Structure 1
Amino acid sequence: MTAAIDGPRVAAKSGKARQLVVFLHGFGADGNDLIEIGRQWRAFLPDADFVAPHAPERCAMSPTGRQWFPLFTRDPDERWRGVNAARPTLDAFLDAELAKRGFDERSLALVGFSQGTMMALHTGLRRATAPRGILGYSGIHVLGAAQPGSERAPQTPPPPVLLVHGEEDELIPAEALLLSASSLADMGVPTQWHMSAGLGHGIDNAGLIHGALFLAQSFGVKVEFGRR
């Protein structure tokens, strides 16, 4: 039986949700770390509900925070075991949130930061039907020994992906963006990327704007500047 997870929410600005955007936080944080982005993005996505679930485990290295899976080393096998172990819990949460609204997968987008990006890519690329888009900040596409697809059935169509990374990231080097984009391209996943100059392990305003426009485009929402 999978663990039940939940977290803070921001309701659709229009009062009638047609899309669902799920934020997946990083190692040692919780859903409160990202939900404020949803408030900022309501102007771009007025028909979207935003939810940021707390990861299922207490963080071993930050007792007040949460983790999707333990991280003690930078061993790729540890990350691969972790994303696979955490995926059923996230899948169950996504299924429940979609069912609650009567939505299908094409109304869903996943947004991750750091460890949350690992979860967004791993889970989103293995859903029976692809989400409308996957946006990953400061993370990496985790692969197992069976590269390049790592036990993944192709999705038709695959979800568009945008990866955003800080050029000066001290925790997950910027090279991870290029490696991830390359591995996704090898899997036939359409991938865009943006590198934020001078940024460390975080999200800057340029990254937020790129992300909001990517999600709006993915959902087919027209953004009119100056009339937000």
Structure 2
Amino acid sequence: MDPRTAIDYLPASGSPELLFLLFHGVGGQPYDMSPLMDRLAAEYPRAALVALPAPDAFDGVPGGGTGGQWFSIREIHEHNRPLRVAAAMPGFVQVVRAQQQRFGIDWPHTALVGFSQGAIMALEAVQQEPQLAGRVLGFSGRFARLPEHAPVDTTVHLLHGLKDTVVPPGPVVDAARRLVALGGDVTADVLPDIGHELHPLLVERAIDQLRSFLPKRAWREALGEAPVQNRVASSRELGRGGTPE
């Protein structure tokens, strides 16, 4: 399969109500996100799901992948990672906006879903671009640097393996604590015995968070419109107040 080709999953009929945009890891390709796409499509049949290819060919170490990259990891370290992410961000945001326009889906009903380097881009995108997505699901990724603010009306779901040696979980936990301190909407799940992978247990945990986590915006709207009743968020409320290297 051509690593430069996007993969679309669309509703069987009618216009989509939600939009999930998926971003693969460094050296990977859209097809790598298929197991997660299958699970999301089963849970949200009225959603459009698009796995997108990274814009540049992988230039890293031999054997590290034959696909693409969102930014180069050659000689990467803590100080130059934010600069590389920032340089790649305008094109990344443009792709997100183009897909929203394609389907006529607004930002609260858009979820960004990334793995590894794709998660880095998705997480940093909502830091740098207001009203880009209602939810972000970051699998085995991290922020390029500790967040300086919490994105407004965007829910961030961090999902990681405790045995991940490629992107260790420490920075993820630190970022979750920072977002909580900043008043953001964030969940963080670090599961044992999982390495750097899009593990089925992480996928199911993400589905659980999408089903059950009601964002602050939804609570604010409910309080302003009607008496609040205790209930679990439905799949149709994915976009209310939010959602998804």
TM-score by length of 2: 0.78
Residue 72 of structure 1 and its aligned partner are, at CA, apart by 2.1
Q: Which residue number in structure 2 is paired with residue 226 of structure 1?
A: none
Question: Is it true that 1:221 corresponds to 2:223 in the alignment?
Answer: no
SS in 2 for 1:84: helix
Name the amino acid aligned to 2:99: E
Larger deviation, residues 66-75 vs 124-133: 124-133
SS in 2 for 1:128: coil
Question: Is it true that 1:156 corresponds to 2:155 in the alignment?
Answer: no
SS in 2 for 1:195: strand
Q: Which residue number in structure 2 is paired with residue 133 of structure 1?
A: 135
Residue 35 of structure 1 and its aligned partner are, at CA, apart by 3.0
Distance 1:123 1:210, change over 3 A: same
Larger deviation, residues 211-220 vs 75-84: 211-220
RMSD value, Cα: 2.3
Distance 1:187 1:74, change over 3 A: farther
Name the amino acid aligned to 1:209: E
Distance 1:148 1:46, change over 3 A: closer
TM-score by length of 1: 0.84
Q: Which residue number in structure 2 is paired with residue 80 of structure 1?
A: 82
Residue 15 of structure 1 and its aligned partner are, at CA, apart by 4.4
Q: Which residue number in structure 1 is paired with residue 118 of structure 2?
A: 116
Q: Which residue number in structure 1 is paired with residue 190 of structure 2?
A: 195
- Could you tell me whether the CA contact under 8 Å between 1:30 and 1:55 is conserved in 2? yes
Distance 1:218 1:87, change over 3 A: farther
Q: Which residue number in structure 1 is paired with residue 230 of structure 2?
A: none
Distance 1:174 1:135, change over 3 A: same
Distance 1:53 1:106, change over 3 A: same
Structure 1 distance, partners of 2:151, 2:36, is 28
Q: Which residue number in structure 2 is paired with residue 142 of structure 1?
A: 144
Structure 2 distance, partners of 1:107, 1:218, is 15
Identity of aligned residues (%): 26
How many residues align structurally? Answer: 212
Name the amino acid aligned to 2:194: L
Unaligned runs of 5+ in 1: 224-228
Distance 1:121 1:109, change over 3 A: same
Structure whose CA Rg is larger: 2
Name the amino acid aligned to 2:164: D
SS in 2 for 1:34: helix
